[in-house]
Chains A and B, each alone.
Chain A
Amino acid sequence: MPLLQVKNLKTYYQTARGYVKAVDGVNFQIEEGEVFGLAGESGCGKTTVALSIIRLLPPGGRIIDGKIIFNDKNILTMSEEDIRKIRWKKIAIVFQGAMNALNPVIKVGDQIVEAITTHENVSKEDAWKRTEKLFEMVGIDPSRAKDYPHEFSGGMKQRVMIAMALACNPQLLIADEPATALDVIVQAQILKLMRELQRKMNLSMMLITHDLSIIAETCNKVAIMYAGKIVEYADTKRIFRDPQHPYTRGLINAFPSIRGPKRKLISIPGTPPDLLNPPSGCRFHPRCPYTNDKCKKIEPELKDIGERHYVACHMSW
């Protein structure tokens, strides 16, 4: 039984001009101890998937259809009180750009203590001791728990966020672009820390990023998202060795390889589609070099092409 199953998830945003179909029929699952990568361009619906899982969509966001089964229970039919108890205790999340994710007027230690005492019946002193241990674990001097967020650098704040995310030993950690706002060196440190902690604690993780190199280094499985849909889904190794979907190929070609021969990087022409009125048929067809009439009319299903490698494309490869 997988830890998390997302089935046919549809999350739309209501706007004055109609529904933005940010997530439109997404399926995937995460096994225990597995690191699952969700990759795609900005605005393809990755973050909306994450926010749907903890049911914290911004105003106007609504889950239209689907199931999110976590530990055998459907999160989407739970009462507000039940989902509140799952948040952070079972599913913790590290947000994109930790710059503003911490409350500026509360000491960072107190923010972590608050997370612990909300879910567990422990005294403030014990929670504070645990907080100091967490600080050590993420490589920050425990005495700094008494400091305020503005006294930390960006990378340090992200470490604090990671410490906070692990405070209640969650079963699933969602990391939404955990290193995106940081410079390359700090980015590498943060990702290294996350990989180490994941291995040490056997964490199940969902890593959301636009950066395929991070996926390659960190994830067991990966789903490629395009315009609110998953277009390809397989083992990380398979996807990088044998990408099937033209969009996946485009993404991989858009990244340089250090060891491979020097070659011109090819970017995908065009821009991501307007999700208010997504293209008919295959949503990638206006940008796809192999488009034919069928692609414009019929939406491709996500099909298993063997060894649990799923692709949504009419072309047979």
Chain B
Amino acid sequence: MSEFRGYIVRRTIYAMITLFLTITINFFIFRVMPGDPVSIMVSERILKPAVVEEVRAMFGLNLPLWQQYILYIRNLLIGYLGYSFHWKEPVINVIMERMPNTILLMGVSTIFSVIIGIVLGILAAWKRGTKIDVTILTSSLTFYSLPVFWIGMMLLMLFGYYLGMFPIAGTMSRPPPEGFFERILDILHHMTLPAITLTLISYGEYTLLMRGTLLDVLTQDYIVTARAKGLPERRVLVRHAMRNALLPTVTAVAISLGFIVSGATLTETVFSWNGVGRLIYDAMMMRDYPVLQGAFLIISISVILANYVADIVYGILDPRIRYGGQGA
């Protein structure tokens, strides 16, 4: 097991390095963008140059770049992400206010698409070449390749507008209903259509991946060995085939889990869902750099963390990985 500890240490160091590089890039990317953030906040034509200079100093924008960078790192270490130009409150508050909505929507739809995708993928591989396989394959590919906003608008039109089964916009009713459970039900009611939309476009990825790897694994020699050993078919499938076939899927799932906090800009916009995806869109329109920078940072950290966890899980599932990659 000691080589496994070494593997974890290595992975941790890599994750730290990646994190540091991301933070640095995140800093400089906003410095090389055209335009002075102050000029967006205040009109230089109205204010006196001395006042503009005051505002610049307030945000530390008058300092040399390297000092700004050190300041930025120091602020990050104490958890300060800056102050929003537009919303006039700390960036962390602006993002965290919308984070629960996004995590709820993305979390639920990711979980559903992973489960549906993997189950359908296994079924398709198991029933290879039959009508079941063809049906699963065709529908997965169709949904996977449809534009997400189109599916969203179609669902809205059919179930929201014509049938009136679901609300057509928002995260909850205004005013919100009384009582805790009524509120939960209200949010779930609002969430149904966007969650279905996101599940529909993303489950196909897992289906195709799972089907492909499982079919590949099922032709391997060790599967023939497992059958020759007289193992029951179920055990061959679960213990010998699935564990090997799950490896690529683990990576795919981990990466999408990392993106849960980023929200889905298009879907959130179509359904007026008050989440991080829409926040990014709004911040972009308002040139609210601190909010964008903060959102990017949180997304990056989350993706790095998810990949780190995936690496560890992969190491547990596949002993070959622990040695620094002899590969499959």
**Interface flags, A63-75, vs B, CB<8A=1, else 0:** 0000000000000
- A56 and B224 alpha carbons, distance in the complex (Å): 8
**Is the pair B222, A148 in contact by a Cβ cutoff of 8 Å?**
no
A106 to B318 alpha-carbon distance, docked (Å): 9
Tell yes or no: A199 within 8 A of B by CB: no
Known contacts A148-B320, A150-B326, A101 near B221 by CB under 8 Å = yes
In the bound complex, how far is the Cα of B227 from the Cα of A103, in angstroms?
12
Give complex CA distance A252, B140 in Å.
Answer: 57
Kindly identify which residue among B229, B232, B319 contacts A115, using a CB–CB cutoff of 8 Å.
Answer: B229
Q: Are B229 and A103 in contact (CB under 8 A)?
A: no
Complex CA distance for A97 and B324, rounded to whole angstroms = 26
| Interface hits, A106-128 → B, CB 8 Å | 106, 114-115, 118-119
> What's the Cα separation between A114 and B317 when bound, in Å?
18
Q: A95-B225, A97-B221 are in contact. Are A103 and B244 (CB under 8 A)?
A: yes
The interface bits of chain B over 219-237 (1 if a CB of A lies within 8 angstroms of the residue's CB, else 0) are 0111011111111100000
Residue ID in chain B nearest A119 by CB atoms: B230
B229 CB contacts on chain A under 8 angstroms: 87-88, 114-115, 118, 164
**Chain A residue at minimum C-beta to C-beta distance from B240:** A103
Count the A-B residue pairs with Cβ separation under 8 angstroms: how many? 69
Judging by beta carbons under 8 Å apart, are A101 and B222 in contact? yes
CA distance A92 to B230 in the complex (A): 9
Chain A contributes a number of interface residues (CB within 8 A of B) equal to 27
Contact between A118 and B231 (Cβ–Cβ < 8 Å)?
A: yes
Q: A84 to B318, Cβ gap below 8 A?
A: no
A86 to B229, CA, bound (A): 9
Cβ of B230 to closest chain A Cβ, rounded Å: 4
User: Do A104 and B227 contact each other (CB < 8 Å), given the known contacts A84-B232, A97-B221?
Assistant: no
Question: B-facing mask of A124-156, CB < 8 A → 1, else 0?
Answer: 000000000000000000000000101000000
Q: Does A89 contact B (CB under 8 A)?
A: yes
User: In the docked arrangement, what's the CA distance between A25 and B6, Å?
Assistant: 58
Decide yes or no whether A102 CB sits under 8 A from chain B.
yes
Q: Chain A residue with minimal CB distance to B128?
A: A59
| Interface assignment of A231: CB less than 8 Å from any CB of chain B | no
Contacts of B220 in A (CB 8 A): 100
CB contacts (< 8 Å) of A215 on chain B: these are none
A88 and B319 contact, CB distance less than 8 A? no
The answer to whether B320 and A104 have CB atoms under 8 Å apart is yes
CB-defined contacts of A148 to chain B, threshold 8 Å: 319-320
With a CB–CB cut-off of 8 A, which chain B residues contact A101?
221-222, 224-225
On chain B, the number of residues with a Cβ less than 8 Å from chain A's Cβ atoms is: 22
Within 8 A of A (CB), among B286-328: 317-320, 326, 328
User: How far, in whole Å, are A104 and B231 apart by their CA atoms in the complex?
Assistant: 17
Instruction: Say whether A56 contacts B244, CB under 8 Å.
Output: no
How many angstroms from the CA of A126 to the CA of B230 in the assembled complex?
20
Interface flag for B183 (CB, 8 Å): no
Tell whether A93 is near chain B: CB-to-CB under 8 Å: yes
By the criterion CB–CB under 8 Å, are A93 and B230 in contact? no
Q: Does A105 make an interface contact (CB < 8 A)?
A: yes
Residue of A nearest to B246 (CB): A105
Complex Cα spacing A105 to B240, Å: 9
Tell me the B206-263 residues at the A interface (CB within 8 Å).
Answer: 220-222, 224-232, 239-240, 243-244
Q: Is A54 an interface residue (CB 8 A)?
A: yes
- Which residues of the other chain, B, contact A85 by a CB distance below 8 angstroms? 230
- Which parts of A34-92 form the interface with B (CB within 8 Å)? 54, 56, 84-89, 92
- A87 to B228, Cβ gap below 8 A? yes
Fill in one digit per residue for B143-181: 1 if any A CB lies within 8 Å of its CB, else 0: 000000000000000000000000000000000000000
B317 touches A105 (CB 8 A): yes
Given contacts A89-B230, A118-B230, contact A95 B328 (CB under 8 A): no
B276 smallest CB distance to A (angstroms) = 37
CB distance from A179 to the nearest CB of B (A): 16
| Contact call A56/B317, Cβ cutoff below 8 A | no
Q: Residues of B with Cβ closer than 8 Å to A? A: 220-222, 224-232, 239-240, 243-244, 317-320, 326, 328
Q: Which 8 A-B pairs have the closest CB atoms?
A: A87-B230, A100-B221, A148-B319, A103-B222, A88-B230, A88-B229, A101-B221, A115-B229
Please list the residues of chain A having a beta carbon within 8 angstroms of any beta carbon in chain B: 54, 56, 84-89, 92-93, 95, 97, 99-106, 114-115, 118-119, 148, 150, 164
14 A-B contacts (beta carbon < 8 Å): A56-B224, A84-B231, A87-B227, A95-B225, A100-B220, A104-B244, A104-B319, A104-B328, A105-B244, A106-B240, A114-B229, A115-B229, A118-B230, A150-B326
> Besides A85-B230, A102-B222, A104-B328, 15 other CB < 8 A contacts?
A56-B224, A84-B230, A87-B228, A87-B230, A88-B228, A95-B228, A100-B220, A101-B225, A104-B222, A104-B319, A104-B320, A106-B240, A115-B230, A150-B319, A150-B326
